[in-house]
Amino acid sequence: MKLLNQTNASAGVSTAKTISKRAMALKILALIATVVTLALIGGMMIFILIKGVPFINQSLFEVQYNSENQSLFSSVVDTVLMTVIALSIAGILGIGAAIYLAEYTHSQSKLVVSIRYAFETLAGIPSIIYGLFGMLLFVVYFKMGYSLLAGSLTLAIMCLPLVMRTTEEALLAVPTSYREGSLALGAGRLRTIFQIVLPAANPGIVSGLLLGVGRIMGETAALIFTAGTVAALPASLFSSVRTLSVHMYVLASEGLYIDKAYATAVVLLALVAVINVASWLMSARLERKNYGSA
Amino acid sequence: MNTAPTRDTIKRSLVGAPVPVNVSATNNVSTHTDNQQPTPITNPQSSIVIPNSVSPKSENHPNLSSENPTLSPQPLVPSETIHQSRITSLKEKIAQRVFASAALTSILCVALVCVFLIINAVPAIQTIGLWDFLTGTKWLPDQDQYGILPMIVGSFYVTGGAILIGVPIGVFAAVYLAYFCPSAIKRLIQPVITIASGVPSIIYGFFGLVVIVPWVQELFDTSGKGIITASILLAMMILPIVISVAQTSIEAVPQDYYEAALAVGASKERAVFWIILPAAKAGILAGIILGIGRAIGETMAVVMVIGNQAVMPANIFMGVRTLTANIVLEMGYAVDLHRDALIATALVLFVFILIINFLFSFIQNKSRSYQ
Amino acid sequence: MEAPRPESGDRIKFSEVNAYYGDFHALKEINLKIYHRQITALIGPSGCGKSTLLKSLNRMNDLIHGFRLTGRVTLDGEDIYRDFDVNSLRKRVGMVFQKPNPFPMSIRDNIVFGPKTHGVTNSKQLDEIVERALIQSALFDEVKDKLNKSAMALSGGQQQRLCIARALAIEPEVILMDEPTSALDPIATEKIEDTITELKDLYTIIIVTHNMQQARRISDRTAFFLLGELVEVRETHELFEDPQDKRTRAYIKGKFG
C-alpha cells in the first residue's frame, strides 16, 4: 500500500515538474522572441539613425534642388501639399459619410451593415492596386498626366475607407445618453451632432486622420505612377511632384547617393515619430475628456 | 378649461422666476399646418409689459436679496419664433441631404475602383484564357504570353515565409509583453513597436537592401536577393502588427481565467500558455490575417530585395516576382493587352485578399459559435 | 391685465391614447389629466408603460423606430403631436433621465447649452440663467467656484442635480422625471427629493418611480399603471391608504412588482 502511494505520489510530482519545465521553456522562448523583435526592429531604427544623422545638414534642406545637395525641401513641401489635399478630400467625404451612417440611419439595417463591410474590406486593398487605378483613371483617362492632383485624388480614395471607418467608430462610441440629453432640451439633430457628438468624438476622429497622414506619408507604390517623380515645387496642381517616400525610393534604387538616402530615412522616421506622439496625446485627451479631470 | 399659458405674475416674481411675455402663437405653430391661426388664448397682449428689472429673489434662497417683489424680468430664454423654427427644420433637411450625398459619393468612389478593375481585366482574361492566365508559367509580354503562375507562387512563398518566421516570434513576444515583461521595460518597448507599425515600407525595403541582402549574400553565397531575403524582411514588417493585435487579445482575456488557473495550483507560466493563450485564439488569428494581408499586398519593400525574375523558383534562394511587383515594375510602360493583363493581375490579387478576408470571418464565426 | 394662472387646473390631458412599438401595444386607451403645480407620480411594475407615457409628453419616443401613437395628447389645449414643432415642445417640457447624463463639458457649458439653443447669446443673461438654475436645483453652493470644471468630475447625485439645473435653464413649464433617483445613493436621493418638492410651486412635475415610498413622500397625485393600462389615479394618500382597484391593492401590498 505504502509503496503504491509513494510511487503514485512521486509520479505525480515528477509530472508536475515536467509540465512546469515545459511552461518555463515556453517562457524562455517568449523572452527570446521579444529580444529578437527588439533587435530586429530597434536595431533597424538605430542603424538608420546612426548612418543617417551625420548627413543631416543645412544643404539637405536648401530650397533649390540639384544633384549635389539632393535637397529634401521640395519633397517635404510636396509631401505636405499632397497630405493636405488628399486628407481634406478624404476627410470631408469620409466624415460626412460616417455622420450619415452613425446619426441618420438605423444601425442594424442591412444597408448600413453591408456598407460597413464593404468599407472594411476595401481598407485592406494593397496600395498598388489604387496606384494602378489612379494612373489609368486620372493620369491617362482624365489626361491629368503625372500630377499633384492625380496623386492626391488617388490617395484620397485610398484613405477614404480608413477615415470613414475610424470616424464611424468614434461617433458610435459617443454614448446615446448625450444625444438624448441634447434632444430633450430641444436642440434638434443637426445641433446635437455639431455641438455634442462631434466634439465628444473629436479625439477619435483626429486619431483616424493621423492614421491617414501616416499612411499617406509612407505611400510609394501608389504615387510613382500618379504623381510622378519630379523633385521640384509644384507650379500648379498639374505639376508632377515627388514626396519624401518616393524620393527615398529613387535614391535607394539608383544607388548613387546612399548617404542622402540614409538622411532621408532619418527624416521620415522623425516624421513618423511626431505623428505617433500626436496620436498618443490625442487619445490621452479623450481619456481625460470623457472621464473627468480632477 | 384652459387658461392662458402665462404664469402667475406675482407669485412668480417672488421666487425670481421669469414670466414669458411673448408666449405667442409661435409656440404652437405646427410644421405641418402653417396657416393655422393663433388662438387668442395663447396670445397674451403685449400690454402685459413687464419691465426689464432686476430679478427679485425669493425667501427660499437665503443667499439672494429681496428687492422689487412685484416686478419680474423678461424671460431670459425666449421661445422660438415661427421663422426660426422653419429655418431650423430647413437647415436640418439640407444637412441630412448633404451627409447622405457624402455617403453616396464615398460608396461610389470605392465602387468605382472595383468596377474599373473588373471592366478592364475581364476582357483581357477572356482574350488570354483564364486557365492559361492562371496556370501559365511564362510571363513574356513581348511574345504575348501572360502566365502569372510564377507570380502567384512567388507571392505565396514570400507571404508563407513571412508568416512562418514572423507569426511565432510575434505571438511569443506578445505573450511575453502581456504577462511576463516587467512594466518599466514594457513602457520602453511598447512605443518602439507602435512606431514601427507606422514606419513606411520603403524604409524597410531600404534596410533590407543595405543590410539583409549583403548578409544573406555572405551567409549563403548567393546573389542575396531572393525568397528568403524577402521573407525575412516581410516578417520584420508584419511583426509590429501581429504583436499589437495578439497582445491586445491576450490582455483582453478576462483576468478570471488566469486567477482560476492559479487557484488550482498552476504556475504562472502554465496558466498563461495553457489557459490564456488558447482563449485568445480568435484575436491572435485576426492578427495573423492582418499580417497576411500586409505581406501579400506589400510592393516596394519586396521589389527591392527579391530579384524580380518572373520565373518559377526552384529554391528559396532564387529570385522571384510577386503579384504586386509584377504590377509596379511594368505599369509604367505597358500598353494594350499587356496593360490589361496587369490589371488582371491586380484583380487576381484583389480576389485572393477577398478570399482571405472571407475565410477569416468564416473562422471567426465558427469559433464564436463554439463559445 | 393678464389672466392669472389658476392655482391648479389641468395642463396636460391624455385622451384615448394608444401607443405602439411596432406590434407591441404599450399604452391602452389612456385617459389622464395632469394638473398644474402638482407632482404627479406614475407607478407600476416594469414594462407597464409608465416610461412610455412620460416620453410621449416630450416626444422622445419619436426617436424609437416603429413607435406610433393614436389619440390626443394636449398641453394647455394644443395637441403636441399635431400642433407643435417638436423642438419648441421640448423647450416647454423638460426632462431628467434615469441615469445622470451631463455632457462632457464644463458645468457652465452644460447649463447654457439649452438657452443657447433657443437663442440666448448675451453672456450676462447666460450667467444669470446659470446661477438661477443652480440655485433652484440646490447645487449652486457646491459648485459656484468651479463652474468651469468638467461636469464629469461631479458625484452621481451632483450630476443628477446638474441635469435638473440644465432642464430648468430652458425655463420649461413641465418637468418630466424618469426614475431620477434610481441610480443614486440614499443621501443623494433625499437631496433630490427635497429639490423636486421645492420646484413644485413653479412647475408641473411628472415623475416615474419604481419606489412606492418615494411616490408617497413627494407626490400629490399618483397614477398606477399595469400592462399598459391606467388602473387608478387619485390623490396620493387616498390611493395608498384606500385603493379602489384590487390590482392596485395587490401592487401596493407587494404581491407583485
Band the pLDDT of B226: cuts 50, 70, 90.
confident
Q: With CA atoms as reference, report the closest residue to B146 among B366, B354, B330, B368.
A: B330
- Asked if B1's CB is within 8 angstroms of C85's CB, the reply is no
Q: What is the pLDDT of residues A161-198, one digit of tens each?
A: 999 989 999 999 999 999 999 999 989 889 999 999 99
Residues 93 to 112 of A: which have CB under 8 A from any C CB? 106
Q: Provide the CATH number for the domain formed by A59-291 in this structure.
A: 1.10.3720.10
Which chains does C contact via 3+ CB–CB distances below 8 A?
A: A, B
Residues 35 to 74 of C: which have CB under 8 A from any A CB? 58, 60, 63, 65
Q: Which among C60, C99, C102 is the nearest to A184, CB-wise?
A: C60
Does A177 lie at the interface with C, CB-CB under 8 angstroms?
yes
Which of A21, A29, A34 is best to mutate for the B interface (most B CBs within 10 A)?
A: A34
Which residues partner with C106 through β-bridges?
A: C150
Q: Please list, residue by residue across A56-89, b when 16 or more beta carbons sit within 10 angstroms of its beta carbon and e when fewer do.
A: beeebebeebeeebbbbbbbbbbbebbbebbbeb
Torsion sign over Cα B269, B271, B274, B276: negative
Residue B181 has pLDDT above 90, yes or no: no
Helices (H), chain C: 50-57, 86-92, 107-117, 123-136, 140-143, 156-169, 186-199, 212-218, 236-241, 246-252
Residue type for B125, please? Answer: I
Query: Looking at CA atoms only, how far is residue B77 from chain C in angstroms?
Result: 6
Cα C118 from Cα C133, distance rounded (Å): 16
Residue C162 has pLDDT above 50, yes or no: yes
Q: What pLDDT is attached to residue A99?
A: 93
Cα A51 from Cα B167, distance rounded (Å): 30
Cα A119 from Cα B111, distance rounded (Å): 10
Cell numbers at residue A147, please?
Answer: 500630377
Torsion sign over Cα A229, A235, A239, A245: positive
Are residues A251 and A264 in contact, defined by beta-carbon separation less than 8 angstroms?
yes
Q: Which among C1, C3, C87 is the nearest to B85, CB-wise?
A: C87
Q: Distances in Å between the alpha carbon of B301 and those of A50, A225, B232, B289? A: 21, 17, 11, 19
Query: Looking at CA atoms only, how far is residue C197 from chain B in angstroms?
Result: 12
- Asked if A195's CB is within 8 angstroms of C60's CB, the reply is no
CATH of B133-370, one of 1.10.3720.10, 3.40.109.10, 3.40.640.10, 1.10.510.10: 1.10.3720.10
Q: Three-state SS string across chain B, please?
A: CCCCCCCCHHHHHHHCCCCCCCCCHHHHCCCCCCCCCCCHHHCCCCCCCCCCCCCCCCCCCCCCCCCCCCCCCCCCCCCCCHHHHHHHHHHHHHHHHHHHHHHHHHHHHHHHHHHHHHHHHHHHHHHHCHHHHHHCCCEEHHHCEECCHHHHHHHHHHHHHHHHHHHHHHHHHHHHHHHHCCHHHHHHHHHHHHHHCCCCHHHHHHHHHHHHHHHHHHHHCCCCCCHHHHHHHHHHHHHHHHHHHHHHHHHHCCHHHHHHHHHCCCCHHHHHHHHHHHHCHHHHHHHHHHHHHHHHHCCHHHHHHCECCCCCCCCCCCCECCHHHHHHHHCCCCCHHHHHHHHHHHHHHHHHHHHHHHHHHHHHHHHHHHC
- Asked if C99's CB is within 8 angstroms of A180's CB, the reply is no
Q: What is the pLDDT of residues C112-159, one digit of tens each?
A: 999 999 888 888 999 999 999 999 888 898 898 999 999 999 998 899
Residue corresponding to grid cell 399603471: C225
Cell numbers at residue B279, please?
Answer: 482563449
Q: Please list, residue by residue across C204-236, b when 16 or more beta carbons sit within 10 angstroms of its beta carbon and e when fewer do.
A: bbbbbbbebebbbbbbbbbbbbbebbbbbbbeb
Cα A98 from Cα C217, distance rounded (Å): 48
- The mean-pLDDT minimum among A89-98, A236-245, B240-249, C216-225 falls in A236-245
Q: What pLDDT is attached to residue B112?
A: 87
Are residues A218 and A192 in contact, defined by beta-carbon separation less than 8 angstroms?
no
By C-alpha distance, the chain B residue nearest A98 is B103
- Annotated domain spans of chain A: 2-55, 59-291
Q: Where on the phi/psi map is residue C24: left (φ > 0), alpha (ψ -120 to 50), or beta?
A: beta
Which domains are present in chain C?
10-252 (3.40.50.300)
Does B88 lie at the interface with A, CB-CB under 8 angstroms?
yes
Query: Looking at CA atoms only, how far is residue B246 from chain A in angstroms?
Result: 13
Which of A185, A190, A287 is best to mutate for the C interface (most C CBs within 10 A)?
A: A185
Does C92 lie at the interface with B, CB-CB under 8 angstroms?
yes
Are residues B71 and B19 in contact, defined by beta-carbon separation less than 8 angstroms?
no
Higher pLDDT, C71 or A292: C71
Contacts of C33 in chain B (CB under 8 A): none
- Asked if A276's CB is within 8 angstroms of B199's CB, the reply is no
Which residues are within 8 A (CB) of A213 and not within 5 positions of it... i.e. 6 or more apart?
Answer: A83, A87, A275
Band the pLDDT of B3: cuts 50, 70, 90.
very low
Query: Looking at CA atoms only, how far is residue C136 from chain B in angstroms?
Result: 8
Which residues partner with B146 through β-bridges?
A: B139
Q: Please list, residue by residue across A143-172, b when 16 or more beta carbons sit within 10 angstroms of its beta carbon and e when fewer do.
A: ebebbbbbbbbbbbbbbbbbbbbbbbbbbb
Residue A217 has pLDDT above 50, yes or no: yes
Residue C168 has pLDDT above 90, yes or no: yes
Query: Looking at CA atoms only, how far is residue B111 from chain A in angstroms?
Result: 9
0.90 surpassed by complex ipTM:
no
Q: What is the pLDDT of residues C69-107, one digit of tens each?
A: 999 998 888 888 888 888 889 999 999 999 999 999 999
Q: Which among B61, B75, B78 is the nearest to C135, CB-wise?
A: B61
**Phi, then psi, of C175 in degrees rounded to 5:** -120, 125
Q: With CA atoms as reference, report the closest residue to A163 among A217, A216, A200, A199.
A: A216
Query: Looking at CA atoms only, how far is residue B179 from chain A in angstroms?
Result: 10
| Mean pLDDT, rounded, for B76-88 | 62
Residue C9 has pLDDT above 80, yes or no: no
Could you give the angle at the alpha carbon of A115 between the alpha carbons of A204 and B252, nearest 5°?
45
Q: What pLDDT is attached to residue B45?
A: 36
By C-alpha distance, the chain C residue nearest A197 is C103
Q: What pLDDT is attached to residue A291?
A: 61
Specify the pTM. 0.79
Cα A55 from Cα A59, distance rounded (Å): 9
Q: Which among C78, C85, C118 is the nearest to B78, CB-wise?
A: C118
Residue C166 has pLDDT above 80, yes or no: yes
Q: Give the distance between the most distant pair of CA atoms in chain A.
A: 96
Which residues partner with C39 through β-bridges?
A: C205
Q: What is the pLDDT of residues A7-64, one digit of tens each?
A: 444 444 445 556 677 888 888 889 999 999 999 999 999 998 888 888 777 777 776 6
Query: Looking at CA atoms only, how far is residue C242 from chain A in angstroms?
Result: 37
Residue corresponding to grid cell 433657443: C118
Sheet of strand C78-79, all strands in order from the earlier edge strand to the far edge: C24-35, C10-21, C67-75, C78-79
- Other beta carbons within 10 angstroms of residue B53's beta carbon come to 14
Higher pLDDT, B82 or C172: C172
Contacts of B11 in chain C (CB under 8 A): 201
Query: Looking at CA atoms only, how far is residue B67 from chain C in angstroms?
Result: 16
| Mean pLDDT, rounded, for B58-68 | 37
Contacts of A115 in chain B (CB under 8 A): 103, 107
Does A191 lie at the interface with C, CB-CB under 8 angstroms?
yes
- The mean-pLDDT minimum among A171-175, B215-219, C192-196 falls in B215-219
Contacts of B48 in chain C (CB under 8 A): 1-2
By C-alpha distance, the chain B residue nearest C124 is B76
